[in-house]
Amino acid sequence: MQCRSQTNKPVDWFIVYKIPKLGSHTDPNFQAGTGFYYMDNNDPELKPSDRGLDVKSDALFHTLDQIYNNKTEIGYFMYSDHTPDNRTGADPRGHAKGVLGFEQSGGFWMIHSAPRFPPLRSDGYKWQEKASKNGQTFLCISLDYGVVNRTGKQYTDVITIVSRYHHTCSLNISDGVPIHFPYIYDVGFPSMFNKDYPMLRRFSVDKGTRQLHVNEPPWYDVIKLPTKGGVGFLSFSKYGKFGNDLYDGLLSNKLQQDLLVQSWIETQKTPGDKLPSNCSIQYKVYNVNTMRFPGKNIEFATSKDHSKWVVSKDNGNWLCIGDINRQKPQKYRAGGQVCFQNKSAWNSFKKIVKEFAAC
């Protein structure tokens, strides 16, 4: 089990960038809000897909179908602050969405921004119409079952990263390290994994119900996570008690780069929550205002885009995909970004930034 491409072939990582619903566009997929651009490790450049996300023949479907239609024993965790049945809403849990799937040959971690996605395994796979209106991003990275050691440390690292997105709950594992976890709304964990992943077994039982908390700093983490193919990803996560913006309070300083940040920064309901671009720090952080995509005459404002991604502004080749916004309330909410260096992927994302907000 690992990330799968548009043609259902194994890939080390991929990115899907779903375009907002563009009612006047000539392409029916972009009209409907199911059109998207795609890249992976074999071709790290954003290119428009010839199919929509609603036809079950794309990279998201092929990857997640390993959970929905796998007849062998597999493990999986689905988590979201906006579940398919909308049962969480706005609460103190982390602002985090994703899927972890694994078997004894390997697995994948998918980080995304789409609400109410994916459905529960028992409901079967389908694209969620609620996620069609705005832009969304998806990052999938492939994991090797035994790349670190046979005790399951790789997945322990992943679920530790994932778990830190819940800033009021934790479990104290046998080594005494307090960890956080998000709202897990669907889980499968066969007993065959109990020995290798005792911590994951605890998560499968608790599903985020224990109301414990981390009570000492630091309130953030930076963890190295190698992929199945050996690509070095960095996961940046913050607790709610970090009390600051992830981007200008942590990410820019750790990457030592000025950053261009796309996130859901302002809504009609909370127009005063927007965090402005910040040039008062050593490594500046700029809000992206407008995107323009190649090949399909596509342009839209950040107000239409629910995705959360980052590129280093001038050099460094950094690209990050994550799940936390640059909003004042989210200074006090947990979330993160997963980053890697790839010149072609970085350049492809940097080129779609038409305009950003100066300080």
Residues 201 and 230 occupy one common structural domain: no
Indicate whether 184 and 225 sit together in one domain: no
The pLDDT tens digits for 228-241 are: 999 999 988 887 88
- What letter does residue 19 receive in the DSSP assignment? P
Residues 201 and 229 in one domain: no
Give me the amino acid identity at 182: P
Asked if residue 3 belongs to a domain, the reply is no
* 120 and 52 share one domain: yes
Average confidence (pLDDT) over 99-126: 92
Section 27-37 average pLDDT:
97
Domain boundary among 206, 241, 265: 206
Total tally of structural domains belonging to the chain? 2
What pLDDT score does 158 carry? Answer: 63
Which residue, of 183, 206, 229, is where some domain finishes? 206
213 lies in some domain: no
- For residue 204, CA distances in Å to 38, 99, 340 come to 32, 13, 29
Measured distance CA(224)–CA(233) in Å, rounded: 6
Q: What pLDDT is recorded for position 90? A: 44
Domain boundary among 175, 206, 237: 206
Does any domain span residue 7? no
Amino acid, res. 265: I
pLDDT tens, residue by residue, 93-102: 677 899 989 8
pLDDT digits (tens, 9 = 90+) for 192-228: 877 776 666 666 655 554 434 456 788 888 888 889 9
Provide the residue range defining the domain that includes 244: 220-356
pLDDT digits (tens, 9 = 90+) for 272-308: 788 999 999 999 999 999 999 988 889 999 999 999 9
Residues labelled as active-site residues:
306
Q: What is the DSSP letter of 103?
A: E
In the prediction, which pLDDT does 318 show?
Answer: 99
Percent of the chain whose predicted confidence (pLDDT) is above 70:
81
- Within a domain: 212: no
Cβ neighbourhood burial of 230 (10 Å; 0-12, 13-18, 19+): exposed
- Which position has the higher pLDDT, 148 or 131? 131
Would residue 8 count as lying in a domain? no
Percent above pLDDT 90 for the chain: 57
Asked, for residue 283, whether it belongs to a domain, the answer is yes
The answer on 195 and 225 residing in a single domain is no
Please check whether residues 186 and 244 belong to one and the same domain: no
Residues 198 and 225 in one domain: no
